[in-house]
Amino acid sequence: MDSGSDLPFCVSMRWLKEHGRLSEMDTNFEHPRVKTLAGSELSIQGVVRDTQFRLKGSNKTFRRDFFVSNALDDWYDFVLGKDFMKKNFDMLFAPGGKVQKMIGGLFGTNPRSPGTRSESASRHIVSSF
């Protein structure tokens, strides 16, 4: 999750390939023109439309479009943006809740960087896609 992301939902190209879902990507889409913190435009290759997903620890199912970016490949599987976090704050951060316990690990003291990527935090949060 990215509390500063204007991009609502994004999945890495790597994740789509690893899970045999690349054929679901639509390349006919309106580019969201999102900039990175460094000021460059985020590379978006397509969109996976009307995707159903659920967060681990939650019974709520969501259905959204996910932009696809190879810029995430070395960093994350998914980005769930700030608007999603605001709208679902109670579910995500309820004290003692199952989802809150999963998210707590994202704010730990072991930041990931390219080349040192272990199991992605999003693999712990998104239970189905």
Strongest mean pLDDT among 17-21, 32-36, 84-88, 106-110: 17-21
The count of other CB atoms within 10 Å of the CB of residue 11 is 27
Residues forming a β-bridge with 25: 48
Q: pLDDT tens, 1-52?
A: 555 667 788 999 999 999 999 999 999 999 888 877 777 888 899 999 999 9
* Confidence (pLDDT) at 70: 94
Within 13 Å, how many C-alpha atoms sit on residue 18's CB side?
10
Rounded mean pLDDT, 101-122: 42
**pLDDT top residue among 97 and 68:** 68
Enumerate the domain spans of the chain: 9-128
Q: From residue 25, how far is each of 65, 66, 121 by CA, in Å?
A: 10, 9, 23
> In this model, does residue 106 exceed pLDDT 60?
no
The secondary structure element, H or E, covering residue 15 is helix 13-18
> In this model, does residue 109 exceed pLDDT 60?
no
CATH 1.10.1740 fits 9-128, yes or no: no
- pLDDT averaged over every residue in the chain: 75
Q: What is the pTM of this model?
A: 0.71
3-state helix, strand, coil in the chain (%, to 5): 30, 25, 45
* Confidence (pLDDT) at 55: 80
> In this model, does residue 100 exceed pLDDT 90?
no
- CA–CA dist 13, 55 (Å, integer): 20
Rounded mean pLDDT, 100-123: 42
Q: For residues 125 and 115, is the Cβ–Cβ distance under 8 A?
A: no
